[in-house]
Amino acid sequence: MYNAASLKAEEFISDGEIQETLAYADANRDNTELIDRIIAKAKERKGLDHREASVLLACEIPEKIREIYALAEQIKKDYYGNRIVLFAPLYLSNYCVNGCVYCPYHAKNKHIARKKLTQDEIRQEVIALQDMGHKRLAIEAGEDPVNNPIEYILESIKTIYRIKHKNGAIRRVNVNIAATTVENYRKLKEAEIGTYILFQETYHKKSYEQLHPTGPKHDYAYHTEAMDRAMEGGIDDVGLGVLFGLEMYRYEFAGLLMHAEHLEAVHGVGPHTISVPRVKRADDIDPSAFDNGISDDVFAKICALIRISVPYTGMIISTRESQSVREKVLPLGVSQISGGSRTSVGGYVTPETEEDVTSAQFDVSDQRTLDEIIHWLIRLDYIPSFCTACYREGRTGDRFMSLCKNMQILNCCHPNALMTLKEYLEDYAGEETRKLGLKLIERELETIPNPKVRRIAGEHIHDIATGKRDFRF
C-alpha cells in the first residue's frame, strides 16, 4: 500500500506505514547501535528517511540528544551560515467558507470582524510594510470562492509587486492560500509568486476530517495532493508544514518527512521550506482544547531533527513563537523568521486595540518591531537578510538545492545577505541597529571565500551608501 512515488494521498502518506514506523521507533528507542548508525548517516549530510528520523525522535537518551543538537547546529552553519531571512505575513481577507475547528476564520464564527482589503488598502498595507524594511511577504487568505476568488489573489499580487515607495519594493511574494487546481497554480506561477505554502495541518486522515468538518478543505486527498498539482502547474518552490498540537507529534513528524520524500520521488525536488506552527489562542479558539500540545523541548527536538533529516530545506518560525523559544531554535536550523507581524486584516495601517472586534487569525507571541528583531539578531551574531535573489535569478527548485548542496552559499547568499542588510540599515534602521549592523557587515565581508566576489560585494555595499539599490549575485 505504501508508495512514496504514488500520486494518491493515502498511498504516499500511508497510515499503515506511519503506524509501523512508530512501532519500529518505539522498539528501537534505546537501541544505541542503531541510533549511532543513524546519527553517523546524518553526519554525511545525506538526510534521513522518516523511519530513521522517527527513531531519533523517540530516543530519550540525553547524550544522543546532545549529539543530535550539535549536528543540527553544525549542518545549519555549513549550509545556511549565520544568515536569517526576514519576511512578514500580509492578511488579505479573512472571509472563509471552511469549518476548521482550530481557526477563528471558520465560517460559523459570527463575532469575528470579516474584512477583505481593497487594492487601495493593499497598497497602504504594503507601503507600511515597505516602510518597516520588508522585501518579502507571505500573503494569506481564507478560502472563499466568492469573496477571495483566484482573480482577487492574482490582482493583489500584481498590486503588491507594482508598489514602489521611496526605496521600498516587495521583491518576493509567497502565497499561502487554500488548495486549488492545476490551472490556478499555473496562474500563480505566471504571477511570479515565490513559494506556494500550504500547511497540511495534520497528516492523520481521520483527525483531519474531524478537524475540518465542513467546506472544501474537508477533502483530505485534495488537500494532501495539492503540492503535486502546484508542481504540475509549474511552481518549483513549495512550503510544507503541520499545525503542531492537533495530532500526535510523532505521527505528524513521520508524515511530514514522508511528504518530503514523496515530492523528491515524484518531482525530483523536495520542499523548499518547512514551517512548524503550533496552535495558538485566537478569537474563539482555546489551544488547550486540543490534546496534543507539545512542550518547548519537544518543539526544539523536532526542529533539530528536521534540520538533520532534510538539510537542504529551509525552516520557518513565525511570530506564533515567543522571543525565548525563537532564540532556542534559531541555532538548530531555522533559516527564516517573520518579524513585526500583524495577523489582522489591515493591521499594519490600523493596529487593532483591545476594544476592537478582532479580525486576527491568532495571537502573536513575539510582538517586537522589525527593528527590534534586527537588532536582536545582530546581537546574537546572526546576519538578518532581506535577500530575494535566488528566485529572481531563476534559482528555484533543484537549482536552489544544488547551490545549497555545493556549499556555494558563502559566495552567493552570504554577500546577498550583507548587501540587503546594508539597504535596510541605510533606509530603515534605528541608530543603534545601524551602528551594530555596519560593524557586522565589515566583519562578515572578510569571510567571503572568493576574493573576486568579496571585492564586488564590497563595492556594491559602498554604492548602496550612495543611494544605489538592488544588487545581487
Distance of alpha carbon 141 from alpha carbon 151, whole angstroms: 13
What is the contact mask toward ligand SAM in residues 39 to 78, using x (rule: CB under 6 A)?
----------------------------------------
Minimum separation from the CB atom of position 95 to ligand SAM (A):
10
Minimum separation from the CB atom of position 359 to ligand SAM (A):
12
CA-CA-CA-CA torsion for 128, 131, 137, 142, nearest 10 degrees?
-10
Distance of alpha carbon 321 from alpha carbon 279, whole angstroms: 10
Name which position in 137, 170, 178, 274 contacts ligand SAM (CB under 6 A): 178
Return the range that interacts with ligand SAM (CB under 6 A); candidates 33-41, 48-56, 277-285, 453-461.
277-285
Binding flag, residue 320, ligand SAM (CB under 6 A): yes
Binding flag, residue 176, ligand SAM (CB under 6 A): yes
Nearest CB to ligand SAM, comparing residues 135 and 320: 320
**Burial track 181-203 (b if 16+ CB lie within 10 A, e otherwise):** eeebbbbbbebebbbbbbbbbbb
Binding flag, residue 457, ligand SAM (CB under 6 A): no
Return the range that interacts with ligand SAM (CB under 6 A); candidates 126-134, 172-180, 255-263, 365-373.
172-180
List % helix, strand, coil for the chain (3-state, nearest 5). 50, 10, 40
Return the range that interacts with ligand SAM (CB under 6 A); candidates 176-184, 261-269, 346-354, 375-383.
176-184
Are the CB atoms for 21 and 51 separated by under 8 Å?
A: yes
Nearest CB to ligand SAM, comparing residues 112 and 285: 285
> 171, 174, 85: which is closest to 386 by C-alpha?
85
Name which position in 17, 52, 125, 143 contacts ligand SAM (CB under 6 A): 143
Binding flag, residue 90, ligand SAM (CB under 6 A): no
Output Rg (C-alpha) for the chain, integer angstroms.
21
Specify the amino acid at residue 397: G
Residues 6+ positions from 19 with CB-CB distance below 8 Å: none
Return the range that interacts with ligand SAM (CB under 6 A); candidates 9-17, 31-39, 272-280, 289-297.
272-280
Name which position in 193, 285, 302, 306 contacts ligand SAM (CB under 6 A): 285
CA-CA-CA-CA torsion for 318, 330, 322, 295, nearest 10 degrees?
100
The helix/strand/coil state of 310 is coil
Alpha-carbon torsion 389, 150, 132, 243, what sign?
negative
Are the CB atoms for 156 and 198 separated by under 8 Å?
A: no
What is the contact mask toward ligand SAM in residues 5 to 44, using x (rule: CB under 6 A)?
----------------------------------------
Nearest CB to ligand SAM, comparing residues 177 and 421: 177
Nearest CB to ligand SAM, comparing residues 12 and 362: 362
Restricting to residues 353-372, name those near ligand SAM by CB under 6 A.
361-362
Binding flag, residue 138, ligand SAM (CB under 6 A): no
Distance of alpha carbon 473 from alpha carbon 459, whole angstroms: 13
Binding flag, residue 256, ligand SAM (CB under 6 A): no
Chain position carrying cell 551574531: 381
Name which position in 12, 69, 87, 102 contacts ligand SAM (CB under 6 A): 102
Specify the amino acid at residue 230: A
Residues 6+ positions from 65 with CB-CB distance below 8 Å: 59, 301
Instruction: Give first-to-last CA distance, the chain, whole Å.
Output: 46
Name which position in 81, 142, 194, 331 contacts ligand SAM (CB under 6 A): 142
Name which position in 57, 59, 85, 177 contacts ligand SAM (CB under 6 A): 177
Are the CB atoms for 441 and 421 separated by under 8 Å?
A: yes
Binding flag, residue 317, ligand SAM (CB under 6 A): no
Binding flag, residue 280, ligand SAM (CB under 6 A): yes
- Give the binding-site size for ligand SAM (rule: CB under 6 A): 21
What is the contact mask toward ligand SAM in residues 321 to 360, using x (rule: CB under 6 A)?
----------------------------------------
> 76, 2, 21: which is closest to 252 by C-alpha?
21
Name which position in 117, 169, 279, 377 contacts ligand SAM (CB under 6 A): 279
Distance of alpha carbon 72 from alpha carbon 77, whole angstroms: 9
Distance of alpha carbon 395 from alpha carbon 158, whole angstroms: 22
Name which position in 2, 24, 161, 199 contacts ligand SAM (CB under 6 A): 199
Residues that bind ligand SAM (CB under 6 A): 102-103, 140, 142-143, 176-178, 198-199, 201, 217, 243, 277, 279-280, 282, 285, 320, 361-362
